Structure 1
Amino acid sequence: MDLPLNALRAFETAARHLNFTRAAEELHLTPTAVSQHVRKLEQRYGVQLFRRLPRGLALTDEGQALLPMLAETFERVAGALSSLRHGRPREPLSVGVVATFAVGWLLPRLPAFQAAHPFVDLRLFTHNNRVDLAGEGLDQAVRFGDGHWHGTDAVPLMPARLTPLCAPALARRLQQPADLAGEVLLRSYRAAEWPAWFAGVGLQAPPLRGLVFDTSLALAEAAAQGAGVALLPATLFSQALDSGRLVRPFATEIDTGRYWLTQLSSRRVTAAMGAFSSWLQAASADPAVQDSLRSAP
């Protein structure tokens, strides 16, 4: 039987990523070549497999019917070939991660994940909590919020309770929460955070005139340099707190959301996705597990 294997492989890879560019990276082709393979496949069988969207792709009914069978076939072939060489093929996994979570929590623990799952070829793409899974060709994404994103499955990871952090010299001027009214209060693009924190200590928030930042990393650096006081998740800035660059003047925290691992509801879960999800949930849920993962080789 004359099967168009290259075209079928191009379709299967593009369907997994819902993105020609990510498929091209995996197949070591150009996005144009992948698109042409898929178009020739569609022309050969007289069906449309994708709907081309302004950003990314969406499977048609015909594409959704073909993908599981094709993916299973390729996986079985890969498994058979892998058994011949007594190894397991590496599976790419593209994950978008909020930069604060990546730097403050994930990166120190990644060696443990890679040691436990060497078959996963993990590719990280940081973002500032604005992410388009389909348009960016991501398998999964870690983001902050309430867990409700249209067309997306979300698994809860860890809370990110906010508390004031600042430079040591500034902290020496703060004896009680009311003293914050005389300081520059640095802000994120979520305007309700400072009013919520002041409400938590029984005070009304003063007028907010500090700089606005779109990432917590920049917010923390500004605070460490003495530009003002920032509301930040202390658990994700433990290194700066341990080194003394940042100080926590008050214990009060507010809970405005948590981190979630998300993926498109229509996305088939691969072995790499399942491995990363299971590891991430276990590592972020149990402090004892976190400590053991951090000390793993």
Structure 2
Amino acid sequence: MNKDRPISLAGLRGFVLAARQGSFTKAAEELCLTQSALSRQIQALESELGERLFVRTTRVLKLTEAGAKLEKVAVAMLDQLDGCVSQIRRGSAKKRVTISSFSSFISMWLIPRLGALHAAHPDIDLHFQATDRFVDLDTEDVDVAIRYCTPDTLPSTGQVLTREEIYPVGSNTVAANIEPGLDKAFDPEGQTLLLQESTTSLYPWSAWATWLPDTATAETTKSLRFTNHDQIIQATMLGQGVALGRHVLIEYFVESGLLRRLSPVGIVPPQAYCLLVSERAKAVPEVELFIEWLKSEIRIGNASPQ
């Protein structure tokens, strides 16, 4: 036997488990091996070392002096190896960032802008949860929440991202049939008004009655009603009527020429787009990167002419 030749590592994990469990049978079960297969691995290891590693009795499995020396080093080595493997696996896996927001913000603001973020950082796995509910960042699996609310309702850790202006919009076809020039308030007479249901109590500015000269006109004007703002804007771009657009959400479509502003008159509501970040996610590099990108895109939007 060449005493300088390194030993095979094949049976080392089985040896450590057998020493820890005090049983070949239990160690074999943990390794999904038969007891005889593990015994052969230990015997091969003993043969390579030229020393017995266990004192085998009918009741208990005990380490010899040589076995105790090997176990001390082997445990530390395997722990270090397992830690290294875990780091490598985590490093090669995509880093998931979970973002919660309302569906219109995800579909109208985030999705049109995600291409550049994905191209620059393909390893980030973005997971979007569309909900109007205020999620609990302490107990739910959410890293970042983007909400539309009044700043005074935010927790102390929340941040205001941006406010916005509300104004009438229409498709190019509809706009072509409306008196040109953005020099006066929009007159919706003869137009189909696109409305969002169940929002006027929270957001009174979303009701066309706020913009019309009298209540009677609001009640007699043709209208179509939808649940979400993204549905309203899709119908608007298809020429099915005119809508009250929320600048932050429709900015991309206005700049792309799919929508046209119909009046210089607008309303700035008390609500704002606000950011909340889970405490456990604040130091995560991928979360920091997403937030940096989000704020940068919003700054670009705020700098663009409306």
What's 1:190 paired with?
A: 199
Q: Do the aligned partners of 1:82 and 1:88 also contact (CA within 8 Å) in 2? A: no
Is 1:254 the counterpart of 2:257 in the alignment? no
Is 1:211 the counterpart of 2:260 in the alignment? no
SS of alignment partner, residue 186 of structure 1: strand
Question: Identity, % of aligned pairs?
Answer: 23
- Deviation at residue 220 of structure 1 after TM alignment: 0.8
List gaps (5 residues or longer) in structure 1. Answer: 3-76, 291-297
Is 1:100 the counterpart of 2:83 in the alignment? no
Structure 1 counterpart of 2:297, which letter? Answer: A
What's 1:132 paired with?
A: 135
Bigger radius of gyration among the two:
2
Aligned length: 211
Is 1:232 the counterpart of 2:240 in the alignment? no
Task: State the alpha-carbon separation in 2 of the partners of residues 232 and 122 from structure 1.
Answer: 27
What's 1:120 paired with?
A: 124
Under a length normalisation based on structure 1, what TM-score does the superposition of the two structures give?
A: 0.55
How large is the Cα RMSD of the aligned pairs?
A: 4.1
Change (3 A) 1:124 1:248: same
Task: State the alpha-carbon separation in 1 of the partners of residues 241 and 291 from structure 2.
Answer: 37
Q: Do the aligned partners of 1:163 and 1:233 also contact (CA within 8 Å) in 2? A: yes
What's 1:281 paired with?
A: 295
Is 1:179 the counterpart of 2:183 in the alignment? no
- Deviation at residue 116 of structure 1 after TM alignment: 4.7
What's 1:42 paired with?
A: none
Change (3 A) 1:288 1:177: closer
Change (3 A) 1:150 1:159: closer
SS of alignment partner, residue 276 of structure 2: strand
List gaps (5 residues or longer) in structure 2. Answer: 1-16, 18-80
Under a length normalisation based on structure 2, what TM-score does the superposition of the two structures give?
A: 0.53
What's 1:160 paired with?
A: 164
- Deviation at residue 204 of structure 1 after TM alignment: 5.3
Q: Do the aligned partners of 2:281 and 2:287 also contact (CA within 8 Å) in 1? A: no
Deviations 1:272-294 (A, max 9, x none): 3333223212331245999xxxx
Q: Do the aligned partners of 1:195 and 1:204 also contact (CA within 8 Å) in 2? A: no
Deviations 1:23-59 (A, max 9, x none): xxxxxxxxxxxxxxxxxxxxxxxxxxxxxxxxxxxxx
Deviations 1:222-273 (A, max 9, x none): 2233332111124533554456543322122222233222245x65524033
What's 2:43 paired with?
A: none
Aligned partner (choices 129, 143, 146) of residue 147 of structure 2 = 143
Task: State the alpha-carbon separation in 1 of the partners of residues 92 and 163 from structure 2.
Answer: 35
- Deviation at residue 218 of structure 1 after TM alignment: 0.3
Change (3 A) 1:195 1:287: closer
